[in-house]
Structure 1
Amino acid sequence: MMKAFKPTWMVNTIYSISPSQLKSHGIRAVFTDLDNTLIAWNNPDGTPELKAWMQSLKDANIPLLVVSNNSHNRIERAVAKLELPFISRALKPLATGINRAMKKLELKPHEVVMVGDQLLTDIAASNQAGVYSILVKPLIDSDQWNTQINRFFEKYVMKQMLKENPTLSWQESLND
């Protein structure tokens, strides 16, 4: 059962995932959750570190696309300054949004990685879609009310998953 929630990698922050690491694994596009993964849920402007990371992906010709359960209007407002394409109402933990994003970019599952901060939505959807997945630590400790419910259950799932996969641990990069 815990296999559904097992990420390919667990990396401390999205910003430490380099284009060269992605390319070494054959990854041609990055899909990312929005809140507490790409930006803090309460700060849509992003950080200089985010902008530098986004530029490094752009320079390496690796598209970045937001795949979020949020509404079209919420994501559009949040990423307006970042000028990112997105898939709204992704229906994670289902693979629906990831599949729509792959179709949009004409990519196959082995060419994509989904990055997110939640096992129960982002990683479960990644595994269902058959794409690589990276679990990152949330950017900030607070969450929207609806995410707080997931975090409660996620603690148990994480404990069980790590018990079943003792070699899985937090890394600084994909190549650790």
Structure 2
Amino acid sequence: MARWGSNARGRLEEAAMELYLERGFEQTTVAEIAAKAGLTERTFFRHFADKREVLFGGSPVLQEVIVKTVLEAPEGTSPLEMVMAGLEAAGIFFQERRDRSKLRQTIIDAHPELQARELSKMAVLSAATAGALKQRGLADPLATLTAETGILVFKMAFERWIREHDPHVWTQLVRDTLSDLQKVLVKPAVQPPGL
């Protein structure tokens, strides 16, 4: 087996995704992933802490994009606008990985353990976003509330995006999701019947 090989991380990701889809996440071992990629288990562990991280390895990059956008937003930008700009910037990250994102979500949706891991990663992303907002001068609880609102918008927009036929609608989906949220937060002038 090749010790290093070119693009070992990408080969491992591809092999893992194929095996998770074919055999199921629980039934797939690190040894099988490494063998399918033509690499060693040792090489696998140079790139990933465990087999779950194959699906979550992009989280630090996503976090970096959102936090950087919040920190670099122009003065006078509202905290929520900062977070939304970060989410929109994340669209570039996703558009380059659309097919992988869809497959990844299929695998996660089928396994409660992976769903729990995704929730944990979202909590880390929210905390990092709140931290960036605090650096910009927004105190708690508003920093945390704004970051959590952003994560909610992100999750809903992502669910819509992976079902869309047009992969270039990320920004519009983020904006539409925020608009939908704002509709339920604003008291209508006339109460609809039954509410």
TM-score normalised by L of structure 2? 0.28
Q: Identify the structure with the greater helix proportion.
A: 2
TM-score normalised by L of structure 1? 0.31
Q: Relative contact order, CA 8 A, sep 6+: which one is greater?
A: 1
Larger Rg belongs to: 2
Q: Identify the structure with the greater strand proportion.
A: 1
